[in-house]
């Protein structure tokens, strides 16, 4: 009776699989990084923040005196991290172009996603050149690419007091030197 026992175990498993498949009539591509919202919150924003936070400047009052602080990647490891973030943004742009994220959107969606791919190449170049000014500048371009898409495809619900341009916030670390 060993085989019968095994068959009983297998049957519900196979049935469950069949039901799951037939539940969606058309085969749909499973979004690899969750919904667009999840992908933005968990992948795109944190990756952009690494890039935006890499180079910055601030001035503050210390004992009544203005102190100006600038920061940029110093070690190989720090530069590598910035470079990796630049490359990752391009990969995310490619993923945005896949049907899982692009389906049902206009052609402009493809253009905005490609914009991320293109700016990622510039970002990667700036990181390879270890050029802090270029990193800062490309950071601004990245932000316009994010915002352009958000203006056309805003979230259904914006948090109170926020505009679309607040969604992707550039250089959030501007207040905090990287050395801290
Ligand atoms: C091709 C279009 C597109 C590009 C490019 C894009 N986004 Fe988005 N983003 C969206 C869409 C669509 C939403 C709204 C998702 C939703 O709420 O359904 C969104 C929402 C967000 C959100 C809000 C997530 C949340 O928790 O609700 C953040 C943060 C964000 N994007 C960051 C970025 C950053 C940073 C960039 C640039 C590096 C960027 N996005 C580039 C399409 C894009």
Q: What is the pLDDT of residue 140?
A: 95
Length of the chain in residues, anyone? 180
Nearest CA to ligand 1 atom 27: 37
For residue 25, pLDDT beyond 60: no
pTM (two decimals):
0.81
Question: Count of CB atoms within 10 A of residue 144's CB?
Answer: 13
Domain range summary for the chain, segments of one domain joined by +: 32-175
Q: Which residues line ligand 1 (CB under 6 A)?
A: 36-37, 40-41, 44-45, 48, 89, 96, 109, 112-113, 116, 142, 145-146, 149-150, 153, 155-156, 167-168
Burial group, residue 1, by CB count within 10 angstroms (0-12, 13-18, 19+): exposed
Nearest CA to ligand 1 atom 14: 155
Q: Which residues of 156-174 are buried (b: 16+ CB within 10 A; e: fewer)?
A: eeeeeeeebeebbebbebe
Provide mean pLDDT across the span 118-132: 98
Task: Name the least confident of 2-16, 110-124, 127-141.
Answer: 2-16
pLDDT band at 169 (very low <50, low <70, confident <90, very high): confident
* Residue 152 CA to ligand 1 centre (angstroms): 11
Closest residue by Cα to residue 73 from 135, 143, 119: 135
**Bridge partner list, 44:** none
pLDDT in tens, 56-81: 998 899 999 999 999 999 999 999 99
Q: What is the pLDDT of residue 168?
A: 81
Going 71 to 88 to 146 to 158, the CA torsion angle's sign is negative
């Amino acid at each position: 009776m060993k085989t019968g026992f095994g068959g009983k175990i297998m049957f519900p498993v196979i049935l469950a699989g069949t039901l799951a498949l037939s539940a969606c009539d058309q085969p749909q591509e499973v979004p690899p990084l969750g919904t667009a919202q999840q992908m933005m919150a968990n992948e795109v924003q944190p990756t952009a923040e690494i890039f935006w936070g890499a180079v910055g400047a601030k001035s503050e009052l210390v004992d009544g005196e203005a102190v100006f602080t600038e920061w940029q990647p110093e070690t190989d490891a720090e530069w590598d991290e910035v470079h990796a973030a630049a490359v990752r943004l391009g990969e995310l742009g490619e993923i945005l172009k896949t049907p899982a994220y692009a389906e049902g959107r206009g052609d402009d969606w493809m253009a905005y996603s490609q914009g991320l791919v293109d700016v990622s190449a510039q970002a990667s170049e700036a990181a390879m050149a270890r050029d802090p000014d270029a990193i800062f500048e490309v950071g601004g371009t990245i932000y316009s690419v994010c915002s352009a898409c958000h203006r056309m495809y805003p979230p259904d619900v914006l948090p109170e007091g926020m505009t679309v341009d607040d969604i992707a916030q550039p250089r959030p670390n501007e207040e905090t030197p990287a050395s801290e």
